[in-house]
Amino acid sequence: MNKISREANSTPFPNLGSVGMLVPSEVILYETYLTIADVEQVTGLKNIRQIPFHPDKFLGSDLNFVSEDGCKILSVEFSSASQYKTYKDFVPKNFKTPLDGTGEEAFIGPDIEDQTPHLLVFRQGIHTVSMTAATTCNAGKNRLTIDQLINIGKIIAKRLI
């Protein structure tokens, strides 16, 4: 894993929520798991930018991808493997669908009732990854298809091994 350590014995994923929501003792270079080029290749979108952690603009994840006009496209959070159960329990049972082929276990679903599925959560080894495909700025639809979201998840899962 690529990281810049400030403490000799720190752990990259403390048993808390997203590392991006903490002030960690080390900086993890999440871009090694998913790049702008990866997102552009899978989606066909161009001129994507990555925006740093900025919760005031609803960009509170470890990786935040936006379109050229600043509309959020994709947010990715990394946490410990134990967080998978928390995510699974948080999404109501009738609103999620198990998913094979992405990480060791995964599910997709909406994070809001009656919405198109745009949440993918998977566990791979010691990691849990939560991905949210955001809606466009001016319309009530996702910028990514569920297949694009799954393909991006597979890229991350392979790099976490």
Which pLDDT does position 54 carry in this prediction? 63
DSSP state of 136: P
Q: What is the dihedral of CA 5, 60, 18, 102, to 10 degrees?
A: -110
Please give the pLDDT value at position 72.
Answer: 84
Is residue 148 within 8 Å of residue 108, measured between CB atoms?
no
Query: Is residue 43 within 8 Å of residue 142, measured between CB atoms?
Result: no
DSSP E strands: which ranges in 8-104? 26-28, 49-51, 63-66, 72-80, 97-99
Rounded Cα–Cα distance for residues 64 and 55 (Å) = 11
Q: What are the average pLDDT values for consecutive 10-residue runs of the chain, which has 161 residues?
A: 33 41 55 95 94 67 88 90 91 81 92 73 96 74 88 97 83
Taking residue 153's Cβ as centre, other Cβ atoms within 10 Å add up to: 25
User: Radius of gyration over alpha carbons of the chain, in Å?
Assistant: 15
**Which domains, and CATH codes, for the chain?**
30-160 (3.40.1000)
Look up tokens 């393909």; give the residue.
151
